[in-house]
Structure 1
Amino acid sequence: MNYLHLTEDAEGISHFEDRPIEMSAADFAPPAPPMPVSEAEPAAALLYLVLPAGWSGAQHPSPRRQVAFCLAGRLRVVAGDGEVREIGPGGIWRMEDTTGSGHVSSVIGSKNVELAIVQL
């Protein structure tokens, strides 16, 4: 399993990187057999967000370290370095560009984007 990581360099320019989620076999839900599971990471909040069809935001840093899970729709994100990525249903996007110039997000197509966001 992979996620899209958006972070920033020392100059505050955001960059994308594809990263794997490290997992190992563990007894997560005994008596079920062991299954691949990641390390637990503390979370501060869970929220749901809808970006309406046609929505486009101004360039901004992420409001805090957070992970978005795309449930529906398609989102276009432009990092500070100009790289463009699209995130669709099932996509996992970790945002850690909290202090620099940030990124630009916009909804692609005629469907709302529905996100579940875990703030870290």
Structure 2
Amino acid sequence: MQFLHLTEDNDGISHFSEVPIQMAATDFAPPAPSMPVSPSEPATALLYLVLPAGWSGEKHPSPRRQVAFCLAGQLRVEAGDGETREIGPGGIWRMEDTDGAGHTTSVIGPENVQLAIVQL
């Protein structure tokens, strides 16, 4: 399992990378058999967000360090360095470009984008 990581450099330009999620076999829910589980990370909020079909935003930094889980729809994100990525259902997108120029986000396709967002 991995997530799409959007960070920024010292000049405030955002960049993408693919980051594997570290997991180890853990007795997470005994008596169920052990399963791969990642380390926990503190979170401050969980919210749900809908981007309507046709929605497109101006370039902006992420409002907080957060992780988005795409539940439905397709979106395109352009990092500050010009690289674009498309995210669809099942995609995990970690946003940590909170101080620089940011990124742009657009809904592609005819369906609303539904996201669950965990703020860190």
The structure 1 segments of at least 4 consecutive aligned residues displaced by more than 3 Å after TM superposition are none
Where does structure 1 lack aligned partners over 5 or more consecutive residues?
none
Pairing 1:29-108 to 2, within 5 Å after superposition:
29-108=29-108
Counterpart amino acid of residue 44 in structure 1: T
* Cα distance in 2, alignment partners of residues 91 and 58 from structure 1: 22
Once residues 104 and 118 of structure 2 are traced to their aligned partners in structure 1, the CA distance between those partners, rounded to angstroms, is 20
Secondary structure of the residue aligned to 2:46 is strand
SS at match of 1:16: strand
Identity of aligned residues (%): 78
Matched residues in 1 for 2:8 and 2:30: separation?
A: 40
TM superposition shift of 1:93: 0.1
**TM-score (normalised: structure 2):** 1.00
Question: Displacement, 1:49?
Answer: 0.1
Offset from partner CA, 1:38-86 (integer Å, 9 cap, x none): 0000000000000000000000000000000000000000000000000
Please state whether the residue corresponding to 1:36 is helix, strand or coil.
Answer: strand
Amino acid in the other structure paired with 1:95: M
Normalising by structure 1, we get a TM-score of 1.00
Paired residues in the alignment total 120
> Which residue type is aligned with residue 35 of structure 2?
M
SS of aligned partner of 1:57 = coil
Distance 1:37 1:115 in 2: 22
SS of the residue 1:115 aligns to? strand
